[in-house]
Structure 1
Amino acid sequence: MTGLARSKTLPGDLATRPPGLASARAALTNGASVVDLVGEGWRRTNAAAQDGVFIAIAEETSVLAEARRIDERRAGGVFLPLDGLTFSVKDNVHVAGFPTTASCEAIRILPEESAYAVARLQAAGAVVVAKNTLDQFATGLNGTRSAEPLCRNAVDSDYIPGGSSSGSAVAVARGLTSFSIGTDTGGSGRVPAACNGIVGVKPTLGLVSGRGLLYNSRLFDTLSVFALDTADAYEILAVMAGHDPHDPYSREDADAVETHAVSAGRMILATPRADQLSFFGDSRAEAAFAADLAALRAAGYTLEEVDFTPFEAAGKLLFDSAFIAERLIEYGAVIEASPEMVHPAVRAAIEPGARYSAQQAFEAIYRLESLKRQVACVFREHDALVLPTTPTIFTIAEMLAEPTSRNAAMGRYTYFANPLDLCAASVPGTGRSDGLPSALSILARATGDAVVHGVARSFEAAVRSRLTETGPDCVRDRPLGIVR
């Protein structure tokens, strides 16, 4: 089979979108080959080559050669968990055979090795078919800080796709790849998932090695997973996770951190006080969040309001303190040498880092530690925190008109997670009345990934149940991830 020839052995649904884990395994059991599945995945990816989703796409011959090697291995009786799956990788993460640019050709690196986490996925049978577009230097939460053609929202192309992992989210939401890998510093793995109606998982810091990543912040960066549902996302995370002795920020206990969903039991969930929530005048987003909380209550969770102030304060430190100076380590020389190749909004975000003193850096560290102590009190009394992933969603035209303030608005409920060392997942919610997706963020303390997974799975099931009860009309404009 060539990448452009549709296999006769694939069921109809797999011939129109790459499979998730369960459907890939079923197809392979029923006689499809890895060449069939991977070839179809590459065909769909290549068909979208001009849509702003991908920066680079693998050669068909190399992708199919890898698929044949996997088929030969399987013929010898060796089966791996991700056999038959295609995935794409955000272009600030190294993949051998692809250049790494972070959406800036002035950087262009030709890595000899894939990032540690990517290599683990490849070793488990998944095949990389492309590198994804992103907000340049992974600095932005909207997806418009990249070269033309802009990556567009998978649900409504007039809207932003979210960022900075814009292409990674859209590739999954449009069914171009089985899953994808992004990064998350201030919400880059959760915001685009929310904007496109799919699952985005941001693990505990250090659970997944960052080796092979162009860093914004070695303190706060993590790789993230995009998938159609929580089951796939967390199984993929389990493959990526693990201690890397060559990454000084890898958790030594990473191999022991549980990611399988824990039973819901009688969990108590925190949510911000109603008077502290802002949806920037978006009544549809506000109504969707109310419906999401109702779904959690129906699933048996107890919800209690808590003070959002320390979370918001920690989020502001990410860009409004000396912590922003850390981005100059990776990108400062490029900005100085080739300013014309750096997006104006990205320069405006990073250049202020040069103005902070060492004293101010220590003051930011002290302030953050104080806020961590305050937040710890919340998690001593509550199993997880739930809140909207984004307060609203803007059109591309609106974002381009006010690129700074509206980008900051998108991070209101995500900026704080990594500075406070929380794990998180964004899960599609009950949907907005205008057909755009809504999403709920679930957060827990470090190493609480299994708790987040458990709540996410229960919420996902509750949303599915509500969609089944209300019928298909309410989801006709949404991606299929939550109802497939």
Structure 2
Amino acid sequence: MDIGSVAFDFASVRARLAEGADPVALVAESCRRASAVADAGIFTALTPPETALENALRLAAEARAGRDLPLLGLTFSVKDNIHVAGMVTTSNCPVFAIDPQESAPTVTALEQAGAVLIGKNTMDQFATGLNGTRSPDPLCRNAVDPVYIPGGSSSGSAVAVARDIVSFALGSDTGGSGRVPAACNGVVGVKPTIGLVSMRGLVFNSRFFDCVPVFARSVADGAEILRLIAGFDPLDPWSRTDAGAIDLKPLPPASARLAVPRADQLRFFGDAASKAAFAANLAALRGLGHELVEIDFAPFEEAGRLVFQSAMVAERLVDYGAVVAERPEGVHPAVRAAIEPGLSYSARDAFEALYRMRELKRVAEIALADVAALVVPTVPTIFTIDEMLAEPIARNTIMGTYTYFVNPMDLCAVATPGAPRADGLPSSVSFVGLAGRDGVVAGLAAGFERTMAGALKQPSAGLRRIRD
């Protein structure tokens, strides 16, 4: 059986297994693809192939013995701020290295379900950035067109899925890092409710706002992984006690009403192709029977600004302050520029920012109470790598226009590919819902995904996906 051409989405892998394919051979092919791009800036470290194959052989034997392994034959990778026992965690900063003695609970849960870890992914250093260029060379490149940024900070995680190296990947998300890379590379990004997934074993950017997102080729695949890693963790002080009660299956919405930003508040920063694609995406939603209701987007934008333009940035000094002070030569200049402003704020500034954020969170709760979700473009535009390097601060901020507000307002979201842009790059729509509505936003995204499936397969879409 030819394994070399297999696609690693869940349905394709399971179809091959049903036809008699060896799950060990599938893992071996994933290792081969990862090794082929070892110098392409997608991974910071690879699981030794012999270790991955040993794990695959053990799991295959357990499956034959009758053990239920729902992820048998599937492979995954994780962002390099998630601990894996036996692999150094660097957050893509070589002078900042942790040798964890145990894996994060998310990794353990996936391995116990039959998935095999292939490696650790490149990221914007210390998860500080939304573009993918704030990392040591070689830079990770967009999976659709290598001239463009891959998005960040979970750049390698999204690209590994988009290039069909692994079946799914985990990242981290503070201000959009589980959605922006998904949008830039044409895959799905599932960003759970804060506290739904254990954060133990993660090097934090923000303990208040961080979560573990899933990158996958379809909403169903991403939702399945979320169900396996979600749940209350009594050892994680940020874990939700009701995590086990939240319905994560894609659900039909109770209302056909969807909120959208007022037309005069939508910004695409001169990108006509992005603007046209979002208009087409909204038309598709109307075609599905949704009523689009305009709301004031200003409070959401303010919440996003507070995360990175207020005393809240000082929180980064908790985890990264020492290395910035003691080993500044090992920290990317743009990352230093993002972290060092935290030194200038007072405790009073921090409390005032937290108070204002709580007020804005209430605004979001009221604004979204009577709609199924808020719909926004995941990203307003996409820059080339050269453009981003020319203006790394301002253009990075632009990438977070429609993502920064989600976590501080305690919302969940799913980013899914939309109508192809006229230039062949992917567009993406995010369905954003109140905390605990993860199943609802997944259901909305899945319905939209089905509608878009035909358009995304059209040759005229011109997607230039790289395949090794």
2:388 paired residue among 399, 423, 443: 399
1:206 paired residue among 195, 198, 205: 195
- Residue 116 of structure 1 is matched in structure 2 by 105
Question: How big is the shift at 1:474?
Answer: 1.6
Answer whether contact 1:34 1:71 (CA < 8 A) is retained: yes
- Residue 123 of structure 2 is matched in structure 1 by 134
Answer whether contact 1:18 1:85 (CA < 8 A) is retained: no
Name the CA distance, whole Å, in 1 between partners of 2:10 and 2:74: 7
- Residue 243 of structure 2 is matched in structure 1 by 254
- Residue 438 of structure 1 is matched in structure 2 by 427
- Residue 3 of structure 1 is matched in structure 2 by none
Secondary structure of the structure 2 residue equivalent to 1:261: coil
Superposition pairs for residues 369-380 of structure 1, below 5 Å? 369-380=358-369
Secondary structure of the structure 2 residue equivalent to 1:129: strand
2:114 paired residue among 116, 125, 128: 125
Name the CA distance, whole Å, in 2 between partners of 1:466 and 1:437: 11
Name the CA distance, whole Å, in 2 between partners of 1:211 and 1:100: 14
Gaps in structure 1 of 5+ consecutive residues: 1-8
Answer whether contact 1:205 1:446 (CA < 8 A) is retained: yes
1:477 paired residue among 455, 458, 464: 464
Name the CA distance, whole Å, in 1 between partners of 2:129 and 2:306: 16
Q: How does the TM-score come out when normalised to structure 2?
A: 0.98
1:90 paired with 2:64, answer no
Name the CA distance, whole Å, in 1 between partners of 2:320 and 2:332: 12
Name the CA distance, whole Å, in 2 between partners of 1:430 and 1:271: 17
Give 2:243's aligned amino acid.
A
Secondary structure of the structure 1 residue equivalent to 2:135: coil
Answer whether contact 2:255 2:372 (CA < 8 A) is retained: no
2:307 paired residue among 297, 315, 318: 318
Offset from partner CA, 1:80-111 (integer Å, 9 cap, x none) = 11111111110000011211000111111111
Q: How does the TM-score come out when normalised to structure 1?
A: 0.95
Name the CA distance, whole Å, in 1 between partners of 2:101 and 2:465: 39
Q: CA RMSD in A?
A: 1.3
Superposition pairs for residues 189-228 of structure 1, below 5 Å? 189-228=178-217
Q: Could you say if the C-alpha distance between residues 369 and 265 of structure 1 is closer, same or farther in structure 2, counting changes exceeding 3 Å?
A: closer
Name the CA distance, whole Å, in 2 between partners of 1:421 and 1:135: 23
Q: Could you say if the C-alpha distance between residues 174 and 180 of structure 1 is closer, same or farther in structure 2, counting changes exceeding 3 Å?
A: same
Gaps in structure 2 of 5+ consecutive residues: none
Secondary structure of the structure 2 residue equivalent to 1:459: helix
Name the CA distance, whole Å, in 2 between partners of 1:220 and 1:254: 16
Name the CA distance, whole Å, in 2 between partners of 1:381 and 1:66: 48
Question: How big is the shift at 1:341?
Answer: 0.4
Superposition pairs for residues 234-253 of structure 1, below 5 Å? 234-253=223-242
Question: How big is the shift at 1:112?
Answer: 1.2
Secondary structure of the structure 1 residue equivalent to 2:199: coil
Answer whether contact 2:253 2:372 (CA < 8 A) is retained: no
2:60 paired residue among 60, 71, 87: 71
- Residue 48 of structure 1 is matched in structure 2 by 37
Q: Could you say if the C-alpha distance between residues 438 and 479 of structure 1 is closer, same or farther in structure 2, counting changes exceeding 3 Å?
A: farther
1:347 paired with 2:353, answer no
Offset from partner CA, 1:6-55 (integer Å, 9 cap, x none) = xxx34xxx523552222222222221122111111111111110111000
Give 2:249's aligned amino acid.
H
Question: How big is the shift at 1:244?
Answer: 0.7
1:332 paired with 2:317, answer no
- Residue 4 of structure 1 is matched in structure 2 by none
Name the CA distance, whole Å, in 2 between partners of 1:465 and 1:271: 24
Question: How big is the shift at 1:388?
Answer: 0.4
1:36 paired residue among 15, 19, 25: 25
Name the CA distance, whole Å, in 2 between partners of 1:338 and 1:239: 39
1:230 paired with 2:242, answer no
1:368 paired residue among 357, 364, 368: 357
Question: How big is the shift at 1:265?
Answer: 5.6
